[in-house]
Each structure stands twice: as structure tokens, then as C-alpha cells.
Structure 1
Amino acid sequence: MKRKNILFIMADQMAAPMLPFYGPSPVKLPNLSRLAEQGVVFDAAYCNSPLCAPSRFTLVSGQLPSKIGAYDNAADFPADVPTYAHYLRRLGYRTALSGKMHFCGPDQLHGYEERLTSDIYPADYGWAVNWDEPGVRPSWYHNMSSVLQAGPCVRTNQLDFDEEVVFKARQYLYDHVREDGDRPFCLTVSMTHPHDPYTIPKAFWDLYDNADIPLPATPEQHSLDPHSQRLLKVYDLWDKPLPVDKIRDARRAYFGACSYIDDNVGKLLQTLEETGLADDTVIVFSGDHGDMLGERGLWYKMHWFEMAARVPLLVSAPGQFGARRVSAAVSTADLLPTFVELAGGSLEPGLPLDGRSLVPHLQGQGGHDEAFGEYMAEGTVGPLMMIRRGAYKFIYSEDDPCLLFDVDNDPREQEELSHSPQHRQLFDDFLAEARARWDIPAIRRDVLASQRRRRFVAGALTLGTLKSWDHQPLVDASQQYMRNHIDLDDLERKARYPQPCQNQ
């Protein structure tokens, strides 16, 4: 049986609750909505850490952040941590990454044979969090300029990046069908939209009218939980009300950026059709975390509320999996064992893994219903953990009050249940489970030690000759296009798709 290719498409900071295939929404996503109609949609998929790098390190490795030192956006990702790219490469797949993965450290491949672009974010330790000085706000922290400057644009850094990401990904697909051999591929296409700053070209801005933009619910700041209050101070919003028109502009631009992602998904789907790869390719779409978008008065991510922690997850493989919805809680840590099973492989015994395969869910045979999360970065003064199981979400901290929500019946998490008498036993059970699962003093020591090492090393590496860890895509121009050492007719024939007959 021919093994299926895998096209894994990622969006950055795309909040699942805002998307039309999860509920009523003004966001226009025709291509993704069509995939959702014909595929398997996970209604309760979560990131394992609501921040870019920790979430992505967990996603590619299937291991929770505390297991691999993925503490913040400047955490080193060790080269000996197995990823789905290592697994699939051992199974004979071509493995490639086009776009963002925010790998930190000198290994910028982590099992991918090729990275078609550089990354949009730095690979060094410069964004390390500092628990030794919890009251100091570093200059590189998020601020509110993304909202205050929201609106339409002609060009941005992020547009430059995503245009290259999609162009290189499409070229990879064209090259795949023009080359000899029958190795399947796993191509990861990771775009940076709809991540802030909240700005997008006029064509996508004009898809929406101000009247179509629902405003968020914003409670009094002093009524928020302690971690939320710290986040407001992290991004410099404490006691600084935002103009309503800028809140609306930011959300409108964000919706436009979601439509921009959808447009790029359409280009990739078109390329699969043009190259005859569509029937042989499993398409997986997901993200690294969401965006609060002003809900609860919060922005960006960095908390365990649904807007920040829930991610889109859909799998489209017509003829292999029937269209269905999965209500069980899962996480992006489950993708590694899922990809391995889809590729016909098996997990290596003796290697640590926290994720579980989603294939039983894809086949309609049930499966696990729980997700775990760990957050130790911006806004924290200690580990902030999450358990999502059944109808409930439990947010655990030894520094702040623990929080309990019935997200099935209260999806906007407006009623906190930790003091509810009828939920007392459930709360106690969650607390006991969390304390048995996580050794918070040990994790705190590990985080502090890592932060101190990285701050020291980062300071040293800024002195003297700079040797960048940022990925440098290498291009051999002597093998591109038309060159005198390559037969012209042979080159033109091989580069054309479909190829003309030899005798014409």
C-alpha cells in the first residue's frame, strides 16, 4: 500500500473559539471551512504551553515543556530530543520545514532534511525570562503598540516572511513531482499570521466592516486573577484603558489575517491538485496557541483561558477518514505519535513521550480525553499548569489561587468554580492529581537554573565576534535554472510539469 504524504500546515496565534468551524463567527475562511466539512475536526484541541517556542518544542517532540527544558521563548531545544521529523525520516520520508518553528540553539533542523526558509524569530537566548527579578519588565516584552497601531497596511515584516514561506512550500511540491523516486514527504508549512502586530493589506481588511466586529467583554482589572493582573503589567496595559476604536481595529485586522492564512491554505491546496498529489496527501491544520484579543481585558496569549490555549486542529484525508467531530480533549503533543502511525511506523520503546495517537479518534473509535499543559514564561513567578478532562479545566499554581471551569457548559469561562460547594470534591481531586503529577519545587529549581545559565551565556555571546545560530538556507546557484554544464533540452524537459513526450 502506498504511504500517504503528510502536509502539516500551521498558523501562529490563531484562536480556535473565533473560527467559523467552531461556532458562529464573522471570520471568513472558505478553504479551511471546506477542509473541516470533509475532514475530522477536533473541538477541544489545546496547546501544551501558551507561548510560541515552548508550544512548538512540545508539538514536534510530543513531550511536555518541563521534560525537555522548554521554559520560555529563549529556551534551548536539545538536539537529542526526538521529533516527528526524526521518526518520519527513519521511516523513509522526505522531511522539510518551510517557515517558523522558533528553534533556539545551534541545532536548527531537529530532524528535518531541509529548512526552506530562515525563521522569523531569533535563535539565541536573548528573550529569556528572569524569575530572579519578577518586578522588572524587560524592554523586549510585548507592549500595546500592536493594538494602538492596528489597521490596514501595504507591507510588513510578517507579510515578507509568509510570502516566502508559501512560495518555497509550493516550489517544494512542484519539485517533488518533477524528481525521480517514490519517497513520500512530510512537509511542514508554518506561517506567522495571524500573530500580532494587528495589520493586514487592504484587500483582507476590506473583507470586514466595523459593524461586523464584535467587541470583547472586559471586566474590571482588579477583579482578574493574579496571573491575569501580572500579564496586564507585562504588556503595559495596567490602568491604561485602550480606545474602543483601536480594539475594534485590532480585531478587524486579526480577522483579516485569519482570512490571509486561509487564502494561503487555498494556494497550497491548489498546488496539491495541480501536481496530482491531493489524493495521496493527508492534510493536517493546527496552530501553536491562540490570542485573547481583548477578551477578559487580556491580549496575546500566556494564560490557560480558552482564547489563548485552544487551537484549531483538523485532519483531512478523504477516502481514509470520514467527516466527523471529536469532542474529547486532545493536544498538539499528540501529533508526533499520530504522524508516526499515519506513516505506518511504530514508536521507539524506551523513549519518553507524553502525547498519544489521535488515529483512534480519526477512525471514529474513541480515544483519550485529556490534555496537560505547562507554562513557565512571561507573567509567571512560578509554574502555571493545566489539566483539561471531560467538561472541566483545572489551572494549577502554588503561587496563585487555583482555578476551575466547566468549559462545556461555560465556554467563555465566566463562572470560576473553585469555591463552589457542589464542585468541592472535584476541585480537591484535581488538586491532588496536580500535586502528584508535578513536583513544583523541583521544576522551579530547574527553571531558575536554566534562566541563570542562559542569561550568563547570552551576555558572553554578545561580546566579540558574533556567530549567529539563525538558520541560513543554502542555495547552490550553479544548479539553478539554465547553466552551461546542464543539457538545455534535458533541463527544460525535466523542469516542465507534466513532462512532454520524449519523441515530440
Structure 2
Amino acid sequence: MKRKNILFIMADQMAAPMLPFYAPSAIKLPNLSRLANAGVVFDAAYCNSPLCAPSRFTLVSGQLPSKIGAYDNAADFPADIPTYAHYLRRLGYRTALSGKMHFCGPDQLHGYEERLTSDIYPADYGWAVNWDEPDVRPSWYHNMSSVLQAGPCVRTNQLDFDEEVVFKAQQYLFDHIREAGDQPFCLTVSMTHPHDPYTIPKPFWDMYRDEDIPLPQNVPSQDQLDPHSQRLLKVYDLWGKPLPVDKIRDARRAYFGACSYIDSNVGKLLQTLEETGLADDTIIVFSGDHGDMLGERGLWYKMHWFEMSARVPLLVYAPGQFKAGRVSAAVSTADLLPTFVELAGGVVDNCLPLDGRSLVGHLKGEGGHDEVFGEYMAEGTNSPLMMIRRGDYKFIYSESDPCLLFDVKNDPQEREELSQALPEVFSRFLAQARERWDIPVIHSQVLASQRRRRLVYQALTQGTLKSWDHQPLVDASQQYMRNHIDLDDLERKARYPQPCPY
């Protein structure tokens, strides 16, 4: 049986609760909605850490952040941690990454044979959190300029990046079909939209009107928020500073437009699959690294375990393989590694640690696990902030802050905190959390990592700079018109479909 290709598409900071295949929404996503209608949609998919690098390290490795040192956006990702790219490469797949993965440290491949672009974010330790100085706000922290400057644009860093990401991904697909052999590929295409700053070109801005944009409802006052939410407001400099309503609307309108921009790029990739004849042999998976609060509860960006921040889109479209359907069970992006391995006809190594569990049972309609564990130790924390999602409930666990309990099935807006109303449920979750996590040990490991990385980063900024940022290799001698091959043969091989020689 011919092995299926895997096209894994990621968006950055795309909040699942806002998307039209999860709830009524003004966001226009025709291509993703078409995939959702014909694929398997996971209604309760979560990231395992609501921040870019820790979430992505867990996503590619299937291991939770505390197991692999994925503490913040400057955490070193060790080269000996197996990723889905390592597994699939062992199974004979070509593995490539086009776009963002926010790897930190000297290994910038982690099993991918090729990275088609550089990353948009730095690979060094400069963004390490400092629990030794919890009240100091570093200059690189988020602030509210993304909201206050929201609106249409002509060009941004992020547009430059995503245009290259999609172009290089399409080129990879064209190159794949023009090469001899039937080796399958796993191509990861990871875009940076709709991540802030909240700005998008006018054609996407003009897809929406101000009156189409819902505003956050029932926003609590800042002094009513839980301690972690209050710290986040100070992290991004919003404490005691009300935002103009028109800028909140502008930010959300630009975000909606950025989601449509992602959808248009998905459409380009789908068209390329069709044009190359790869569509029927390719499984498409779409997901993301975390969401965005977008002003709900008065919060912005991510960094908390509330639904807008922690829930991610997850859909699997596999022509002729899985029936269209929806999965209500709670799953996470840590589950993608064992899922990809099983889809590729392989098995995971049971001698190696793995927190993720395969989703293939869910894809087949046979059921599976209904449980997610999450860990967060980055901006806004002064101690680990953990999460368990199972059944109807979400439990947010800390030994420094009050623990929180929500019935997210019946209260998806998380308006009513239930730790006092449901003491037995609360006690069971608390007991499980304390059995699972040794917070003092994890706390000391985080502190030790932060201190090591601060010293190393300060040292490496002195003297000659040796960047870890990935530099994509382009061999110009093999591009376009060159004399290493007869020109007629060259032109014929570069053409698709290839004409018959005369």
C-alpha cells in the first residue's frame, strides 16, 4: 500500500473559539471550512503550554515542557530529544520545514532534512524569563503597541516571512513531483499570522466592517482577576491603563483579516496539491501553537490557560481514509507525534518517554483518550502554573496562586469559578495534580535553567558573534539554467507535466 504524504500546516496564535468551524463567527475561512466539513475536527484540542517555543517543543516531541526543559521562549531544545521528524525520517519519509518553529539552541533542524526558510524569531537565549527578579519588566516583553497601533498596512516583517514560507512550500511540492521515485514526504508549513502585531493589508482588512467585529463581553475589573491574570496585565503594561474601544475593535478586525490571510495561503497550498496530482495521496493536518485572548476577560495575547489562549484548531483531512466527523474529547498537540508515526505505518519506541497519545482511534471513530495536561513556566509566572483538562472540567493548578476550576462544557466563557461550589471535584483534581507534579523540584529546575542561560547569553554577546539562527542553504549551481546538464533535458525535467522527448 502506498504510504500517504503528510502536509502539516500551522498557524500562530489562532484562537479556536473564534473560528467558524467551532462556533458562529464572522471570520471568513472558506478553504479551512471546506477541509473541516470533509475532515475530522477536534472540538477540544489544546496546546500544552500557551507560549510559542514551549508549545512547539512539546508539539514536535510529544513530551511535556518540564520533561524537556521547555520553560520559556529562550529555552534550549536538546538535540537528543526525538521529534516526529526523526521518526518519519527513519520510516523513509522526506522531512522538511518551511517557516517558524522557534527552536532555541545550536540544533536548528531537529530531524528535518531541510529547513526551507530561516525562522522569524531568534534562536538564542535572549528572551529568558528571570524569576530572581519577578518585578522587573524586560524591554522585550509584549506591550500594548500592537493594539494601540492596530489597523491596515502595506507590509510588515510577518508578511515578508509568510510570503516566503508559502512560496518555498509550494516550490518544495513542485520539486517533489518532478523528482524520480515514490518516497513520501512530511512537509510542515508554519506561518506566523495571525500573531500580533494586529495589522494586515487592506484587501483583508476590507473583508470586514467595524459592525462585523464583536467586542469582548462582561469584562471583569482588573482587581477581580486571578493573580496570574493581574501579573500578565503588568507584563504587557496594561495594568491601570484602559484601552480605547475603537482600538480593541481595530485589533480584532485586523486579527480577523489575518485569519483570512492564513486561509488564503492554505488555499494556495491546496491548489498546488491539486496541480501536482498529490491531493489524493496527502493527509492534511491543520493546527496551531496557542490562541489569543483578544481582550476577553481584559487580557491579550496568550500566557494563560483560559480557552481563548489555550485552545487550538485541529483538523485532519485524509481523502478516502477517515470519515468526516467531530471529536468532542479533550486532546492536545502533544498527541501529534504518535499520530503521525501511526499514520506513516510506524510505531513509537516504547523505551523512550512520550506524553502524547495517538489520535488514530479518534480519527477512525473508535474513540480514545479524553485528557490533556499542560505546563506553563514563562512570562507572568513566579512559579509553575499547570492545567488538567478532562471530561467537562478544566483545573488550573498552582502552589502560589489559588487553584481554579471551570466547567468548560457548560460554561465555555469560564465565567463561573467552581472550586468552592464543587469541593469534591476540586479535591480530586488537586490530589491528581499534586501526585503528578512536584512543584518545588520543577521550580528549582526552572530557576537553575534561567540562571545558566542568562550567564551564557551575556557571555555570547561579547566578542565575535556566532549566530545560531538557521541559514537556509541555496545551491545556485543546481538552479535554473546551468551547463552540468544538456539544456533540452534540463528544460524538460523542470517542466511539469513533462513533455515527451521528440
Matching residue's letter, 1:399: S
The residue number in structure 2 matching 1:57 is 57
* Equivalences for residues 64-75 of structure 1 within 5 A: 64-75=64-75
Residue 37 in 1 paired to residue 37 in 2? Answer: yes
* Equivalences for residues 329-408 of structure 1 within 5 A: 329-408=330-409
* Equivalences for residues 125-136 of structure 1 within 5 A: 125-136=125-136
The residue number in structure 2 matching 1:459 is 458
Counterparts of 1:317 and 1:127 in 2: how far apart (Å)? 38
The residue number in structure 2 matching 1:119 is 119
Superposed displacement of residue 335, structure 1: 0.0
The superposition leaves residues 259-283 of structure 1 with CA deviations (integer Å, 9 ceiling, x where unpaired) of 0000000000000000000000000
The residue number in structure 2 matching 1:446 is 445
In structure 2, the gaps of 5 or more residues are none
The residue number in structure 1 matching 2:260 is 259
The residue number in structure 2 matching 1:82 is 82
The residue number in structure 1 matching 2:97 is 97
Counterparts of 2:31 and 2:308 in 1: how far apart (Å)? 22
Matching residue's letter, 2:453: R
Residue 414 in 1 paired to residue 406 in 2? Answer: no
* Equivalences for residues 282-321 of structure 1 within 5 A: 282-321=283-322
Matching residue's letter, 1:234: V
Counterparts of 1:478 and 1:430 in 2: how far apart (Å)? 60
Superposed displacement of residue 419, structure 1: 1.0
TM-score, reference length from structure 2: 1.00
The residue number in structure 1 matching 2:185 is 185
Counterparts of 2:268 and 2:216 in 1: how far apart (Å)? 32
**Which sits farther off after the overlay, 484-493 or 359-368?**
484-493
Superposed displacement of residue 349, structure 1: 2.2
* Equivalences for residues 149-228 of structure 1 within 5 A: 149-217=149-217, 218-228=219-229
Superposed displacement of residue 155, structure 1: 0.2
The residue number in structure 2 matching 1:434 is 433
Question: Residue 95 of structure 1 aligns to a residue in which SS?
Answer: strand
Sequence identity, in percent? 87
The superposition leaves residues 60-80 of structure 1 with CA deviations (integer Å, 9 ceiling, x where unpaired) of 000000000000000000000
Matching residue's letter, 2:247: K
Counterparts of 1:124 and 1:6 in 2: how far apart (Å)? 30
In structure 1, the gaps of 5 or more residues are none
Counterparts of 1:302 and 1:124 in 2: how far apart (Å)? 21
Question: Residue 290 of structure 1 aligns to a residue in which SS?
Answer: coil
TM-score, reference length from structure 1: 0.99
Superposed displacement of residue 329, structure 1: 0.1
Counterparts of 1:366 and 1:456 in 2: how far apart (Å)? 48
The superposition leaves residues 418-477 of structure 1 with CA deviations (integer Å, 9 ceiling, x where unpaired) of 111xx1101000000000000000000000000000000000000000000000001111
Superposed displacement of residue 219, structure 1: 1.2
The residue number in structure 2 matching 1:501 is 500
Counterparts of 1:491 and 1:484 in 2: how far apart (Å)? 9
The residue number in structure 1 matching 2:143 is 143
Matching residue's letter, 2:308: M
The residue number in structure 2 matching 1:470 is 469
The superposition leaves residues 177-212 of structure 1 with CA deviations (integer Å, 9 ceiling, x where unpaired) of 000111000000000000000000000000000000
Counterparts of 2:486 and 2:234 in 1: how far apart (Å)? 64
The superposition leaves residues 40-85 of structure 1 with CA deviations (integer Å, 9 ceiling, x where unpaired) of 0000000000000000000000000000000000000000000000
Superposed displacement of residue 2, structure 1: 0.2
Superposed displacement of residue 32, structure 1: 0.1
Q: Which runs of 4+ in 1 moved over 4 A?
A: none
Superposed displacement of residue 486, structure 1: 2.2
Superposed displacement of residue 484, structure 1: 2.2
Superposed displacement of residue 392, structure 1: 0.2
Q: How many residues align?
A: 501
Superposed displacement of residue 483, structure 1: 1.2
Counterparts of 1:37 and 1:179 in 2: how far apart (Å)? 33
Matching residue's letter, 2:436: R
Matching residue's letter, 1:187: L
Superposed displacement of residue 478, structure 1: 1.1
Counterparts of 1:210 and 1:276 in 2: how far apart (Å)? 41
Counterparts of 2:316 and 2:241 in 1: how far apart (Å)? 42
